[in-house]
Amino acid sequence: MENRPLKILVTGGAGFIGSALVRRLIQESPHSVLNLDKLTYAGTLTSLEPVSRSRRYSFVQGDICDAALLADLFPRFDPDVVCHLAAESHVDRSIDGPGAFIQTNVVGTFTMLQAALKHWRELSADRQESFRFHHISTDEVYGSLGDEGLFTETTPYDPRSPYSASKAGSDHLVSAWHHTYGLPTLITNCSNNYGPYHFPEKLIPLVIIKALDGAPLPVYGQGLNVRDWLFVEDHARALQTVFEKGVPGETYNVGGNAERRNIEVVQAICALLDEVRPRHDGRSYAEQITYVADRPGHDMRYAIDATKLKNELGWEPKESFETGIRRTVTWYLENEAWWRGIAQRSYAGQRLGLAG
Ligand SMILES: NC(=O)c1ccc[n+]([C@@H]2O[C@H](COP(=O)([O-])OP(=O)(O)OC[C@H]3O[C@@H](n4cnc5c(N)ncnc54)[C@H](O)[C@@H]3O)[C@@H](O)[C@H]2O)c1
């Protein structure tokens, strides 16, 4: 399947991970992409400027919950693969307003599955065989780990936040459409992503931007929560590997082998900025670190065992945390216009998700 040019319907292609996938597919594969994105606060078309003029790229602004739109788009674009990334994705926002998470992540995934199933049933036998519905999900569906252990593909689901519960629900729907109707589905569950074009409400870009602005750097609780950081371009390569080579009905975990406490992440950013953009007063950016009230229900540790993806499909992350965070900090320093634009339009760095 990997050598043939494919038509790929990407949902959420204006988001952080979706745009990394679209840039990769247009720049480094022969595939064509239709990007379906509602352009919520999190969708940013400027993230697609490097590829938006390609004849293999097209964009439709629309909602994955809109069955009539999907009934029109599927036969017109006639996809070989669906990469479903559109979602409400921020845990803090799910605490403040869970309704949108149920609507987009659960109802939207159901609507996509129904449209994809109708399309799949009308394909020739050959194309039915190679069709894939690839659902992109999170390791947060597995709940929280103690000091030891890793999430594997067989870890029982135990979601804790409205966000992770809605993603768990969507994963179950995808599995059900495979087992009940035979739709060739794939699920990937990945750890925390970081890298270029990351929306400024998430920890790493938030800290870089606040540091440069001379503002306090908010660290939840004691900063001891552990995340397994995955560079977004490694993730985009993993997604392509999975829809090209993965076995229908299977789940693959994607991780960066880069567990770090949140406080270590913030200190690493401060040290890099001290090196490449020293403060005018000669002091360290680390002096701006401020401990704030913890997130309600904050999961302590996530860590992924990605052995299955390595052994069965040959994927491994290329970036270590040190190389990836350096590339990320450098990108933010060189692309101030991108994130200043977002700060002016839709997000000014305020605290979210305190549960009243
Ligand atoms: N960012 C991470 O660290 C991470 C980790 C694990 C899993 N994931 C999953 O990966 C996927 C992509 O995450 P992301 O960080 O790129 O998210 P994001 O919030 O940056 O982007 C989501 C995109 O979906 C679009 N969208 C939202 N609702 C829509 C709707 N109803 N119809 C059409 N488009 C809609 C938005 O406009 C946006 O462009 C999500 O499914 C998320 O759950 C993300």
Q: What is the pLDDT of residues 269-280, one digit of tens each?
A: 999 999 999 999
Does residue 2 have a pLDDT over 80? no
% helix / strand / coil in the chain, to the nearest 5?
A: 45, 15, 40
The model's confidence at residue 299, banded by pLDDT at 50, 70 and 90, is confident
Report which DSSP code applies to 1: -
Does residue 341 have a pLDDT over 90? no
- Phi then psi for residue 21, to 5 deg, are -65, -45
CA angle 208, 15, 251 (to 5 degrees): 105
Q: Which residues have any ligand 1 atom within 6 Å of their CB?
A: 11-12, 14-18, 37-40, 42-43, 63-65, 85-89, 104, 108, 136-138, 167, 190, 192-193, 199
Report which DSSP code applies to 137: E
Q: Which atom of ligand 1 is nearest to the CA of 139?
A: 6
Q: pLDDT exceeding 70 applies to what percent of the chain?
A: 96
Place of tokens 């490449």: 276
The pLDDT of residue 296 is: 81
Does residue 356 have a pLDDT over 60? no
Q: Which atom of ligand 1 is nearest to the CA of 41?
A: 37
- Phi then psi for residue 337, to 5 deg, are -60, -35
Q: What is the CA(96)–ligand 1 centre distance, in A? A: 17
Average pLDDT value for residue range 330-350: 84
Average pLDDT value for residue range 324-349: 88
Q: Are strands 226-228 and 230-231 parallel, antiparallel or unpaired?
A: unpaired
The pLDDT of residue 147 is: 87
Give the catalytic positions in this structure. 139-140, 163
Return the half-sphere exposure (C-beta side, CA atoms, 13 A cut-off) of residue 128: 13
Spatial separation of the C-alpha atoms in residues 66 and 83, rounded to whole Å = 17
Average pLDDT value for residue range 43-63: 97
Q: What is the pTM of this model?
A: 0.95
Average pLDDT value for residue range 42-53: 96
Best residue among 9, 10, 16, 170 to mutate for probing ligand 1's pocket (most ligand atoms within 8 Å of CB) is 16
The model's confidence at residue 347, banded by pLDDT at 50, 70 and 90, is low
The model's confidence at residue 60, banded by pLDDT at 50, 70 and 90, is very high
Q: Which atom of ligand 1 is nearest to the CA of 167?
A: 43
Q: One-letter amino acid identity for 241?
A: T
The pLDDT of residue 348 is: 62
Average pLDDT value for residue range 281-286: 96
Does residue 350 have a pLDDT over 80? no
Q: What is the CA(180)–ligand 1 centre distance, in A? A: 27
| CA 165, 166, 171, 175 torsion-angle sign | positive
Q: What is the CA(291)–ligand 1 centre distance, in A? A: 28
Report which DSSP code applies to 301: B
- Phi then psi for residue 291, to 5 deg, are -85, 130
- What does the pLDDT look like over 11-34, one tens digit per residue? 999 999 999 999 999 999 999 999
Cβ–Cβ < 8 Å for 310, 256: no
DSSP letters of 177-242? Answer: HHHHH---EEEEEE--EESTT--TTSHHHHHHHHHHTT--EEEETTS--EEE-EEHHHHHHHHHHH
Task: Write out the H or E segment, with its range, that includes residue 33.
Answer: strand 32-37
Does residue 300 have a pLDDT over 90? no
Q: What is the CA(315)–ligand 1 centre distance, in A? A: 23
